[in-house]
Amino acid sequence: MNCREFTSFIADWLDGELPVGQAQVFQAHIAMCPPCEMYLLQYQSTVELARLCQPEDAVPGEVPEALIQAILAARPTGDGSDPTQP
Amino acid sequence: MSPGDGTRELPSETTLVRNLKEGEAGAFEVLVRENSPRLLAVARRYLPKEADAQDAVQDAFLSAFRGMAGFTGASKLSTWLHRIVVNASLMKLRTRRRKPEVAIDDLLPRFENDASAHHLDVIAAWRETAPDELTRDENRVLVRAAIERLPDSYREVLALRDIEQLDTADVAELLGVSKGVVKTRLHRARQALRALLDPHFREGAP
Ligand SMILES: [Zn+2]
């Protein structure tokens, strides 16, 4: 396994989807190739960092009142049923 | 309908759903005020332009209002709305997709052209990426900005898989592509994001 191949297998390896034989070769490459080991670590950090971007911290104040009013104004009135729904 | 009278108690989810199905205006206002901050935050992940994100939230609520009769209560209202806003955002993204995308190839790793295929670029060590709260907030800003720079088709897969945590099959169905395409795009998106973050996280970088 060379560095290009190693890199192309990272996602599958993280998902546990590499066949056993290939996973062993993959792990052997980590042990002997510091750049690939570093690359793998940073790839994992990148995935973790993306996860940080979940919007659990959204605060009500950041929605403009104009948007809320526009949404409420666009609400279909009448009996609430919609002829396009089955 | 004045916005400031928010002292009344919030109804339970069952009551709220019943009132929504009966078309009660107050129930719609509760639904919108309660859920729009989170939904707007979700839409912003797909649509970097604030006006587009707000449009997507508005589209999502309109779909929700129309589809309310079909809401079975099998999932929570918030989960149902989340799915609707993701769909609305992806649709908007399609209509906004302009000009050829930035070449993602420039952000992928390069290798020697021999059998060893060694990394051509120096892979320099990163500083700690998951430390205290304060740095977490700073990292979040950095990472969001970097995600915004990804080409659309890569940003959407990264957002759906790594941020929303949907599985490959669901993302494939949502985007109308094969699972193989989702996997390839995700891998390339992560590599591109790593390249964009690299200058910020190298040891000794500000
Ligand atoms: Zn290597």
pLDDT tens-place string over residues B44-101: 888 878 999 999 999 999 999 988 888 888 888 888 898 899 989 988 888 876 655 5
Residue ranges per domain, chain B? 9-95, 104-201
Q: What is the pLDDT of residue A60?
A: 54
Name residues with Cβ closer than 5 Å to ligand 1, which is an ion: A 3, 33, 36
Average pLDDT over residues B2-24: 72
Confidence tier at B177 by pLDDT (50, 70, 90): very high
Of B112, B126, B162, the CB nearest to A50: B162
Assigned CATH topology for domain B9-95: Rna Polymerase Sigma Factor; Chain: A (1.10.1740)
Assigned CATH topology for domain B104-201: Arc Repressor Mutant, subunit A (1.10.10)
Say how far apart CA A4 and CA A35 lie, in whole Å: 12
| Contact assessment for residue A45 and residue B129, using Cβ atoms and an 8 Å cutoff | yes
| Contact assessment for residue B144 and residue A53, using Cβ atoms and an 8 Å cutoff | yes
Q: What is the pLDDT of residue B96?
A: 74
Confidence tier at A84 by pLDDT (50, 70, 90): very low
The count of domains in chain A is 1
Percent share of chain A, pLDDT over 90: 70
Residue A20's domain spans which residues?
3-74
Say how far apart CA B140 and CA B146 lie, in whole Å: 10
Question: Chain A residues with CB inside 8 Å of B109's CB?
Answer: 7, 39
pLDDT, chain B, mean: 86
Nearest-neighbour CA in chain B from A27: distance (Å):
16
Question: Chain B residues with CB inside 8 Å of A45's CB?
Answer: 126, 129-130, 194, 201
Segment among A43-52, B106-115, B125-134, B143-152 with least mean pLDDT: B125-134
Contacts of A26 (CB under 8 A, 6+ apart): A1, A6, A9, A13, A18
Q: Supply the pTM of this predicted model.
A: 0.77
Nearest-neighbour CA in chain A from B153: distance (Å):
16
The verdict on residue A79 lying in a domain is: no
Inter-chain contact B162–A75, Cβ cutoff 8 Å? no
Burial letters for A12-49: b for 16+ Cβ neighbours within 10 Å, e otherwise?
bbeeeebeeeeeeebeebbeebebbebbbebbebbbeb
Q: Give the three-class secondary structure for A40.
A: helix
Closest alpha carbon to A11 in B20, B104, B193: B193
Of A3, A60, A68, the CB nearest to B117: A3
Percent share of chain B, pLDDT over 70: 88
pLDDT, chain A, mean: 85
Of B57, B111, B191, the CB nearest to A67: B57
The verdict on residue A84 lying in a domain is: no
Confidence tier at B4 by pLDDT (50, 70, 90): very low
| Contact assessment for residue B56 and residue B85, using Cβ atoms and an 8 Å cutoff | yes
| Contact assessment for residue A78 and residue B7, using Cβ atoms and an 8 Å cutoff | no
Average pLDDT over residues A37-52: 94
Segment among A61-65, B58-62, B79-83, B189-193 with least mean pLDDT: A61-65
